[in-house]
Structure 1
């Protein structure tokens, strides 16, 4: 559910609005009738660290690129 509030009300009731956001609701803050900001819950990022570890582990299995290969790629790009 989306809650719409004006800037003054948001300033006065920020703690209450944050509690609603933590409960999963969205809050749209408007200046007059024009929406200017949205408060939304932050997604759980605990799994990001796990994904990063998986990527780092996979990278260890790859063959390292040599400086010679990099020079060859640079030269190849210059040919065209």
Structure 2
């Protein structure tokens, strides 16, 4: 956690926001006394950023997934009776 003074925070706000977006926390101080903390919103905790493949092995997608229900959908759009 880094501490910056108000003047530096005003001068480099966009840089500080970029650091916060990456997960860092920055303390803003006035006369050496901390007065505010810049933190990312909903920052994932360390080691929890992986999202792709997080359900691997939990379920299987059928081979005909792209065509499942196509007959029923075609029937509905071609004027067949609705269920």
The count of residues paired between Structure 1 and Structure 2 equals 43
In structure 2, C-alpha distance between the alignment counterparts of 1:12 and 1:3, rounded to whole Å: 16
Aligned to 1:41: 40
Aligned to 1:32: 31
Aligned to 1:18: 17
RMSD: 1.0
Where does 1:1-80 land on structure 2 (aligned, <5 Å)?
2-43=1-42
Q: Alpha-carbon deviation of 1:4?
A: 0.6
Unaligned runs of 5+ in 2: 44-83
Unaligned runs of 5+ in 1: 45-80
Aligned to 1:69: none
In structure 1, C-alpha distance between the alignment counterparts of 2:29 and 2:36, rounded to whole Å: 7
Aligned to 1:65: none
Provide runs of 4+ in structure 1 moved above 6 Å: none
In structure 2, C-alpha distance between the alignment counterparts of 1:34 and 1:9, rounded to whole Å: 14
